[in-house]
Each structure stands twice: as structure tokens, then as C-alpha cells.
Structure 1
Amino acid sequence: MASAPPAYKPRPLKNLFTANGCWADLLEAGGLRQIEVESISKMLACGTSILGVKHYTCGNEHCPHVKYLCNTCHCRACPSCGKKATDQWIAVQNNRLPDCPWQHLVFTLPDTLWPLFFYNRWLLDALFRLAADNLIYTAKRRGLRVGIFGALHTYGRRLNWHPHVHLSVTAGGLDEQGVWKNLSFHKEALRRRWMWLVRDYLLGQPLSQLTMPPQLAHIHCESDWRRLILTAGGQHWHIHLSKKTENGRKTVNYLGRYLKKPPISGSRLAHYTSGATLSFTYLDHRTQTYQQETLSQADMLRRVVQHIPEKHFRMIRYFGFLANRVCGQYLPKVYEALKMATPGPVPKLYFAQMAKAFLNVDPFRCVLCGARMVYTAAISGLTVQGLVLNAQAIAQMRYVKP
């Protein structure tokens, strides 16, 4: 007698949201940003027929085999879709970045200012420019043009709100004669200028346009605002300046793990058994010891969704000779100065390639006769608005008696 098939086991992140109707409770309670509702609705529908289906038939006209592949969500909140986007980004960057020493930096903010950026997310946009300008200013004083790529992280190891900027910069630059020269950065000078740039930027924002968080409810006038900004963190603003590496691959691989995916991986949720609480382990950078934190399921969901970026916000940016508007002009000169061959284009990554590499199975090979499966039709799925309405309808079904 054949054994029963294994019970369906949802993806760890999906299980976290759907278990105990927790996501439905949060939807009903309200207070979520529209992008949070849309992103999670797409993530929960990923890989199901509600997003649409592609229909394949066997290329052998005598074979009756048909196959249906459900569409994916292409959402940054989805760990499955993030895997493909991450691998593609890493491949492109490792191919085009100059083969020279690089240095990684992290620019942080005083914790008293974190809530301000949480309630005024549009302020995050300037952090990239301010951090990059700090490095570009140093390079320009030496007559050099450097290459910079960076990412914004809004979370710490505990998944709490902790905005900070990661930048990787070439440890050298191109001078006006097209000669490559080495460059070093002074940590204390960078720290002081970063503190001054952020404070100057915040003081330039009209108080009337800012939403004050509860922690800063005592700010009522311009003098209160100036006092807050000029005293926040005192003189203890921190930046981290890592040791130089031979190339940028280490940083690319590090940042790639976080940029295209949610802030917590499926492996850290694999032990979750649909309980009302969830414990996870994180590395405390102050004590360099592993700590464990236990949260309710609802609190865990809130920590995860708060890090979903606003629509059209670019989490990865490029500056210097890597900036999109000038990289076509300067990158060939950089390759020439470093005596590098000009890299060719990176092939696009497809679902079939990933399936072959990970599962050692060709998803478009007929399981009956071995012929190629041929795409023949598509069934459209719901729009984003339709997904949101569907999620809200499912939440309301809890009140319907069987």
C-alpha cells in the first residue's frame, strides 16, 4: 500500500503571517501603510493560481502531458522571489565592478533620531546623498573621481527600526589625466563631516512639514527643534570603517543577502510551529554574544512589515563613476587605467536555470516522454488591488459561522 503524501507545509514566512489568522487581525486593526498591505498580499499569493497561471503542453504531439506553472509576485517582501533578484544583482555587480581595493563603511545615526525617520520616511532619501558626498568631497580634494555603491538598511539585528547607510568605495580613483591613484579615508574626519551634514540637512527642513513621533512630542517650536538636532548623539556619532579588501565581491555578496529579500530569512523561521510567540537568536554587537528574544506573533509581523520600503524607493544607489548617468563614460577609462579587460554583458537569470542548479531537474522537460514542454496559454490573475480586496475578504470570513 502506497504511503500517504506528506502534509502541505507552507513557506516559513507565509506560515508566520497566516498562522492563527494573525495577518487578518492586523489588517482589521488598521494602521498599516498601503505598501505594507499590498506587498504582503502579493507575497502570500506568490506561487498560487490567484496570481495567474501559465499553461504548457508537451512538444510531442502524441504525449498527453500538460503542466501548469503559477506566477510569482516579484515582491521585495518575498524571500522566494528575492533569491532570483539577489543572484542577478550579485552577478551583474561582480562582473562590472573594477578589480581594485575597496573599502566598506557604515554610517549610523543617534538613536534619538530613529523615530523621526520612521514617521518621516521621505527623509531617508537624503541619507544616501549625504553619506556619498562625504566620500566624494575627500576624493575631490585629491583631484580624484571614485566609484561608490551603497544600500540603505532600516533594521538592526533584532529587526528593530535602525536606519543606517552601507557604502562601498574604491580605495583609489581616476585623476583628470586618466591615471589611477590610491586613496585612503580618515575616519574621524568622515565622522565629523557626516554629523555636520545630517544636522545641517535636518535643520533645513520646515518644522511644519514634519510629523513628530510620540517620543518627540515635546518639540513645539523652532528653538526646541534646533536644540534636539544640535544635541542628538552629542559628539558620539558613529561610523564604521572596515579594512580594505582586494575587490568589491565580499561587500557585494554581503549586501546582496539583504537588499532584495525581507529582513528575516526562512531559515530563522523554520522552527516556527504556528504558536502565539516566536523566539529568535541575534548577535549583540556590543557584547559580541548571541542573545535570544521572544516576541508575540503580532509584534513579529509588525517588525517585519515596517521595513518594507515605500513604493519606487531605491534601496541601492550608485555614485561617482558608477552613477548611472556617467558610468558609460567613465567605466571604460577605469578599466583601461587598471589594465582590465572590458567585461561583457551578464546573461539574464531564468527560473529554469535556477531549478536545474538547485534541484538538478529541468522544469521544462516532459516527465512522461522527455520532450520539451511548450508554452501554449496563460490565465490572468488578480491585480494588486484585487489581491488586497481578496485578503480583506478572507479576514472578514472569520466572522462567518460554518
Structure 2
Amino acid sequence: MTRPAVEVADILRAQGNSFLDRHRGQLRFQQLKVMRAILRCRTAALGGHIDRCLRCGKDWGLSFNSCRDRHCPKCQAQSRQRWIAARQQELLATPYFHVVFTLPHLLNALIRQNPVELYNLLFRSVAETLMEVAANPKHLGAEIGFFAILHTWSQNLLFHPHLHCVVPSGGLAPGRTHWIRGSATFFLPLEVLQQVFRGKFVDGLEQAFAENRLSFSGLIQHLAEAKSFAEFVRKLHRNQWVVYTKPSFGGPERVLRYLGRYTHRVAISNHRLISFDGDHVRFRWRDYAHGNKKRKMTLSAEEFIRRFLLHVLPKGFVRIRHCGFMANYQRSASLNICRQLLDMAPIVRSTEITSTSSARLCPTCHGPITVVERLNAVQLRWRFVSKCFSDSS
């Protein structure tokens, strides 16, 4: 892939200090940390390493180290490939559905002030909704397993929290005696999912309020009063709670290709950026509300940075989770039962996950490339100074 003409780091480098001056005291520490990481990513500030091909012995020179921050547009490829490689043996020989649960925008301000509490509530409400509706004999009557991925953005970088769930079409019968096959064209009734999801999330929200686990300040400070919060809850019940199912993926191979697009995604990739003139940023986006049309948007650098930082997650927050029989504590045993019932070979765990797609190959001989020397920032500086003296003598 060609190097993008503009990067998020370029915008932060040019306008980041001005943004900090205007918004001093309004940013979380984690947002400041992400800005710093992106600015330092693949620069001498993080040190570097020297690569060499193990087959032909060619040195590929010095490369600066990556920041490895999960919000950085330049640092997700290897993490994504490793995660997909780990999932490869966990996929079952059955069609899969993509189900998306979206929170009403009425909740946005409250979520931004209580991200850990309400993102966790979102995961819990969605997991319970899918498992309960699927377990109902009127629908599927089975125990299901799935994973869910949190995204907080829309294509134009506005705050839009939603959960992407990848669910097999079918599940384990009660007692795990056989596999119940679902339809390849219909998963679960959307109206039922919407009602149950809304009920569970609002109930959890009311419980969090009753237990004083929510913070209120600024424009939503009035919600700290019981009467105002009760009215807010009534509005939530009247609001539209969007749940939709995308068409079935088919088999596991198509699921893996899909996962490559959705896991470890950041709010905006560098390749969507078109131009930056020092004051304004122009980028591509898709307007899903109007037929998935391709559009272009121009924002001031300040507004672009503000929107980008909306999507910085709290430190340590897990944004990809496994639920049902895919939950971490039982995943291996449950998947082996599923594979046996589906006439698939059992999972064979290796001590090290390998993936040809994630291996770095020499452009000359296609042999494996490895790191032969690592240099911290101080060592890099001294090497550069030594080279300058050597060249001048």
C-alpha cells in the first residue's frame, strides 16, 4: 500500500499545540497520551531497529519504532493479523451473521462522562439480549457464542457508540447434545432484539443511578436530580433503539475477510485523508444514511482533532469481547464440542501463533526478515552524530 499523502500525525504536529491551548483542562490524560504517541510514532524519539533477511543476508537499514498505541492509524496491521490468526481455528463450519446494536444519541453526553460504566453496560446488555432471545424455543432454542467489537464513531468522526457482533447461525441444544442449525437467511426477530436490548440497557442505567455510579457535570448536571433523571429515562424508552442484521457471511473464510476490515480499526485511517493545508482537513467518508454514498468533508483542524479524540478509549478498556459459549473461561472446551457436533476436527493449539500473512518477507528473495539490532533514542542520536562527524572528516 502506498504511503498516504496526509497523516493524522501531520495534523497534530501542525495544530496540536494550538488545540491544547484552546482546550486546556478539558482533555483526559488518556487523550493527551494518545496525541503524544501518534506524534512520536515511527520517529527517532522512540528509537529504531535494523532489519536483515535471514535468507540472502541483505540489510534493510534503519526503521524507526512504532508507538503501538491502539488508537494510532499506523500501528494496527500487525495486531489485527495476529488476532485474526488466533481466531482462525475458532470459526465453525456454519453461516455467520453480523448484528449491530446502536445506542440512541440522547445518551452521548452521559456516555462521554461515564465511558467505562456505560460501555460495560452496553456489552452486558447486548450479550444478555442475544443469549436470552436465542435461547427462547420460539426463536432458536439454542445456546449461542459470539464476539462483539465496540466502535464509537460514525464515518464523519461524530460520536456514535455501537457494537458489532459476529454470531454463528445456530447453537448448542440444551444439554449440548446436538447442534441446532439456524436459517442461513434469518437470524433472530429484530423487533424482539430491539425491545429486549432497550429494556436491559435502561434497567442497568437506572440501577447505576440508584447506586451513585454515574457522574453528571456541565450540560447534563441537572440529570443528577432524581426527577430530571426519571424524565430522561422516559425519553429513552420513547427513543428509537437501532438493531440491524447484515446479510449472512456464509462460511468461515468470508468471516475472516470481514474481520480484517472491522477488528482493530481506528476512528479514521490515514488513507481516508485527502489534504491538509495547515488549517483545514479534507477526508473521504461514506454516508450510510443516504445509500452508502461516497462523500468528501472539510473540517477545521481544531474540529478534526476534537472529533478524533472523542474516540480515545479509557486505559485498559477491552473493546473486543467473547460471549456465550465463546467466553474466555469455557471457549476451548465449548468449541471442541461444537466442532465434534459439526463433524469438524478438534482445535489443535500451538504454543506460537504463526501466520504467513503477518510474516515480513524480503522483497529480493522472499526470505523472512528479522530484527538484528535495536537502538533506543539516545543510541540513535549518538549514531547520527558519529555519522555526521565521519562524513565531514
TM-score interval w.r.t. the shorter chain? 0.7 to 0.9
Please name the residue that 1:392 is paired with: none
Deviations 1:12-57 (A, max 9, x none): 22222213xx112223442222112212212222222321233578
Matching of residue 378 in structure 1 with residue 377 in structure 2: no
Matching of residue 272 in structure 1 with residue 262 in structure 2: no
Q: TM-score, normalised by structure 2?
A: 0.81
One-letter amino acid of the counterpart of residue 347, structure 1: I
**Structure 2 vs 1, CA of residues 219 and 126 (structure 1 numbering), >3 Å: closer, same or farther?**
closer
Please name the residue that 2:384 is paired with: none
**Structure 2 vs 1, CA of residues 360 and 351 (structure 1 numbering), >3 Å: closer, same or farther?**
farther
Contact 1:148–1:320 (Cα < 8 Å) also in 2? yes
**Structure 2 vs 1, CA of residues 342 and 362 (structure 1 numbering), >3 Å: closer, same or farther?**
same
Please name the residue that 1:390 is paired with: none
**Structure 2 vs 1, CA of residues 200 and 362 (structure 1 numbering), >3 Å: closer, same or farther?**
same
Please name the residue that 1:167 is paired with: 165
**Mapped partners of 1:66, 1:137: distance in 2:** 55
Query: In structure 2, the residue corresponding to 1:80 is in which secondary structure?
Result: coil
**Mapped partners of 2:59, 2:168: distance in 1:** 54
One-letter amino acid of the counterpart of residue 353, structure 1: A
**Structure 2 vs 1, CA of residues 42 and 362 (structure 1 numbering), >3 Å: closer, same or farther?**
farther
Contact 2:6–2:275 (Cα < 8 Å) also in 1? no
**Mapped partners of 1:58, 1:248: distance in 2:** 34
Contact 2:104–2:239 (Cα < 8 Å) also in 1? no
Matching of residue 158 in structure 1 with residue 156 in structure 2: yes
Contact 1:105–1:166 (Cα < 8 Å) also in 2? yes
**Mapped partners of 2:9, 2:367: distance in 1:** 24
**Mapped partners of 1:374, 1:222: distance in 2:** 60
Matching of residue 178 in structure 1 with residue 202 in structure 2: no
Contact 1:103–1:171 (Cα < 8 Å) also in 2? yes
Contact 1:16–1:272 (Cα < 8 Å) also in 2? no
Provide the alpha-carbon RMSD of the alignment.
3.1
Matches within 5 A, 1:41-120: 41-54=36-49, 67-120=61-114
Please name the residue that 1:13 is paired with: 8
Matching of residue 196 in structure 1 with residue 199 in structure 2: yes
Query: In structure 1, the residue corresponding to 2:202 is in which secondary structure?
Result: helix
Contact 2:104–2:241 (Cα < 8 Å) also in 1? yes
Matching of residue 223 in structure 1 with residue 227 in structure 2: yes
Report the CA distance between 1:133 and its aligned residue: 0.7
Report the CA distance between 1:272 and its aligned residue: 1.4
Query: In structure 2, the residue corresponding to 1:272 is in which secondary structure?
Result: strand
Deviations 1:206-238 (A, max 9, x none): 365433364434435212102211222615222
Contact 2:42–2:65 (Cα < 8 Å) also in 1? yes
Query: In structure 1, the residue corresponding to 2:120 is in which secondary structure?
Result: helix
Deviations 1:96-146 (A, max 9, x none): 211212111111122111221111112111211110111111233345221
**Mapped partners of 1:233, 1:140: distance in 2:** 25
Q: Which moved more, 1:242-251 or 1:153-162?
A: 242-251
Identity %, equivalent residues: 25
Please name the residue that 1:385 is paired with: none
Contact 2:359–2:368 (Cα < 8 Å) also in 1? no
Count of residue correspondences = 360
One-letter amino acid of the counterpart of residue 360, structure 2: M
**Structure 2 vs 1, CA of residues 44 and 348 (structure 1 numbering), >3 Å: closer, same or farther?**
farther
Contact 2:50–2:59 (Cα < 8 Å) also in 1? no
**Structure 2 vs 1, CA of residues 133 and 265 (structure 1 numbering), >3 Å: closer, same or farther?**
same
Matching of residue 141 in structure 1 with residue 141 in structure 2: no
Please name the residue that 2:388 is paired with: none
Matching of residue 304 in structure 1 with residue 308 in structure 2: yes
Deviations 1:55-97 (A, max 9, x none): 578999xx99794343221111222220111122223223321
Report the CA distance between 1:262 and its aligned residue: 2.2
Unmatched 5+ residue regions in structure 1? Answer: 1-7, 366-372, 383-402
**Mapped partners of 1:170, 1:361: distance in 2:** 41
